[in-house]
Homo-oligomer: A and B are copies of this chain.
Amino acid sequence: MTDRPARRVALLVEEDFEDRDVAGSCDALRAAGLEVVIVGPVAGTGYRGRRGELTVTADAAAGKTRQRDVDAVVIPGGYAPDRMRMRHAMVDLVRDCVDAGKPVAAIDHGAALLISANVVRGRTITCWPSIAIDIKNAGGRYVDRPVVVDGPVITARKADDLAFFTDAIVKAVTGASS
């Protein structure tokens, strides 16, 4: 990993993300040598966490971010995924990356965006328990585990699972464990 350019991970944001998911993912992925690009609805705009502990500014707009621009996508939890589901550019980016075999990682309520991107059917998925029934209704196999890797789709239950989650992302993107 040391001799090749940094891999670029798109971290999706919208209002009311889970603060720990965004802070923890950024820190761990950057510490592993990955480039993290904050992708929101509008570049240069700030988005706040639901706990008010963190505001991040989008480096790039989702509408201008293509699958070919990134090596992986990370979807945080909180209430942000409910908003992301109505952002066609984010839904398309997730679907296009999964179709291209690039890692797409969702934690907490982030799995709701996987449903909207129609990439759940036949996959084993974990998530925040309130949406487990939505995963099952979408044709997924819900399991209660800290992290699950099923092809390019990586899922985790909640912020307490962040270490497992980011380790799985780093492994998927670089081929090595952090």
Q: Which residue of B lies closest to A113 (CB)?
A: B130
B-chain residues with CB within 8 Å of residue A129 when the two chains form the complex: 86
Chain B residues whose C-beta falls within 8 Å of the C-beta of A139 in the assembled complex: 137
Distance in angstroms between the alpha carbons of A138 and B137 in the assembled complex: 6
Pick the contact of A83 from B82, B116, B130, B133 — CB < 8 Å? Answer: B130
Q: Are B134 and A115 closer than 8 Å at their CB atoms?
A: yes
Name the B residues within 8 Å of A134 (CB-CB): 112, 115, 134, 137-138
Chain B proximity mask over A129-146: 1 for CB below 8 Å, otherwise 0: 111011001110000000
- Residues from chain B with a CB closer than 8 A to the CB of A131 are 82, 85
Q: Which residues of chain A (103-153) have a CB below 8 Å from chain B? A: 109, 112, 115-116, 129-131, 133-134, 137-139
The DSSP consensus for interface residues of chain A is helix
Cβ-defined contact, A115 with B86, below 8 A = no
Give A138 to B132 CA distance when docked, in angstroms: 12
Copies assembled: 2
Residues of B close to A137: CB separation below 8 A? 115, 134, 137-139
Which B residues are CB-close (under 8 A) to A138? 133-134, 137
Give 9 closest A-B pairs by Cβ, nearest first: A137-B137, A85-B130, A134-B134, A137-B138, A82-B130, A86-B130, A79-B79, A116-B133, A115-B133
Residue contacts A-B, CB under 8 angstroms, 13 given: A79-B82, A82-B109, A82-B131, A83-B130, A85-B131, A115-B137, A116-B130, A116-B133, A133-B138, A134-B138, A137-B137, A137-B138, A137-B139
